[in-house]
Amino acid sequence: MMNPFAGEVAVMLDGRRHVCKLTLGALAELEAALEAGGLIELVERFETGRFSTRDVLALLVAGLRGGGWQGTAADLRTVEIGGGPLEAARVAAQLLARAFALPGEAG
């Protein structure tokens, strides 16, 4: 069961539902994966619509790993994401928003 108040977002991979969450460990992994800038710059890119597919992939991997998934970015490149690239971007944006939302503000 997915809980948006706990920062969780669901994504379908190869027809299976997975729960994503940006835990502190997942955020640290995400920050290490970003070659330029940090989390604030990543948030700004999503807020202005200037994010890249690399940003989306990094967020999805971090969120999936925070939800207990054991895969890697290479694994994610070979799966069918339910809803395609647009849904992947929506999930990534929701993960960021929910990770930094105050209780009761989960969107």
φ, ψ of residue 11 in degrees (nearest 5) = -140, 145
φ, ψ of residue 76 in degrees (nearest 5) = -70, -30
- Helices and strands, number each (H, E), in the chain: 5, 2
Mean pLDDT of 58-73: 93
Q: Say yes or no to pLDDT of 60 above 60.
A: yes
Residue 17's H or E segment, with its range, is strand 16-20
Q: How much is the pTM?
A: 0.87
